Structure 1
């Protein structure tokens, strides 16, 4: 006699959210019946809407809130605003009153120039601004969430000052303090230094950022009109300050490799 196997008929149930709808499927997480409208495909599989919401709440608590890089956007906006003012205020007024010249600062005591010069750019070259802002957008979005807004802002601002001091120190050593400098490059190199330190603290591969730093430093040495002194000053400031802030704050996930 031929043996026949009959599959058990699936249990007929109704969806709790839609009692008028008969369903044969259940949530892959809680096992409750759910109609096709209430099923949600998620990375962990099909689940009902209630479990979907609970899963997202738990995941949000576990991963922490997502912080938008607000400081990065504000800094980009300030640099663009400063450049627009340079273009629309006649007589190069903005450059004259806010660029950095070590000799002039020593003579006048206008110390704010060590900082304000970091928000100005070559008036006749929008490429100078665009390259710096692209780098700020690229690295700022990565660094700001890792450090927190205030630490990140402190590193950026003091890297500008560090870049100006690099120009100042070199001018004092060579006897040529009468040099004008503008640009966010000191701050950008400060972010390079910060990113290097953060990468090392997390035990990740730092070769890509080291390569980027090396290429930009060489470019600064061989191209006229580029202040490698500001680059070096900003780089050192950003790296050292980030190391201090992260160690004091206990934010490093792994010990710094030596």
Structure 2
């Protein structure tokens, strides 16, 4: 409950507060309130990273939303967007659309990929720019599909299987981070740990499309090398 003053008690000083505007107590309170109003609370590093990575966040949100639509039986989202090597040339959009769909019903696949996207994507977008990040992500995803298609032609990958997931695109970001360059102040432990974890998963989950991982990794490394090795040092003349 909120405390109220007694209405039967006569007001002091004709209904005005007993503190005048010149009172030091009022001046001190006003100063404290103004200072609290003007000084904004500092953002956490994670929130600041997301705020400065709009493309990364947008891709993550769209991917999760599309994954949720896969649970609508009559829409057949996965079948329409997944990459199938046998249909690749007749339906070329599948080279890229496969990045938006993931295995179901378990959320482990999409969540693992989105964790990698947010972890590496926010760093690369803030460091190398939104345009480079977006181009690298999309081309790496397409590169993963191309690798699956080529290996299917060679008889290594399954030509009729549905390949889904953004793993190729995420591994493209890892490929950029693996480029030897002092221009990226990266966390090598996180990068190497991600690669090792995915390598170990190949022995646990046989349905992982390592072909897409490899294709995305190669494309990301090449694009990263072109970008990092051609960047002019800070302070250099144009």
TM-score, normalised with respect to structure 1: 0.66
CA contact (8 A) 2:144 2:168 kept: yes
CA distance, structure 1, for counterparts of residue 188 and residue 55 of structure 2: 25
Q: Which residue is 1:98 aligned to?
A: 81
Count how many residue pairs are aligned between Structure 1 and Structure 2.
201
Match of 1:237 among 205, 219, 225: 219
Q: Give yes or no for the alignment of 1:187 onto 2:187.
A: no
Contact 2:177 2:186 in 1 (8 A): no
Counterparts of residues 1-258 of structure 1 (less than 5 Å)? 68-88=52-72, 90=74, 93-106=76-89, 109-174=90-155, 176-197=158-179, 201-202=183-184, 206=188, 208-250=190-232
CA RMSD of aligned residues (A): 3.3
Query: What secondary structure is seen at the aligned counterpart in 1 of 2:197?
Result: helix
1:45-80, Cα deviation, whole Å (9 max, x unpaired): xxxx9xxx9xxxxxxxxxxxx971000110011101
Q: Displacement, 1:245?
A: 2.3
Gaps spanning 5+ residues in structure 2: where?
1-22, 40-49
TM-score by length of 2: 0.71
Tell me which of the two structures has the higher relative contact order, counting C-alpha pairs closer than 8 angstroms and 6 or more residues apart. 2
Unaligned runs of 5+ in 1: 1-19, 22-34, 39-48, 54-65, 254-258
| Superposition deviation, residue 196 in structure 1 | 2.1
Tell me the CA shift for residue 185 of structure 1. Answer: 0.8
- Please say if residues 88 and 149 of structure 2, whose CA atoms lie closer than 8 Å, have aligned partners that are also in contact: no
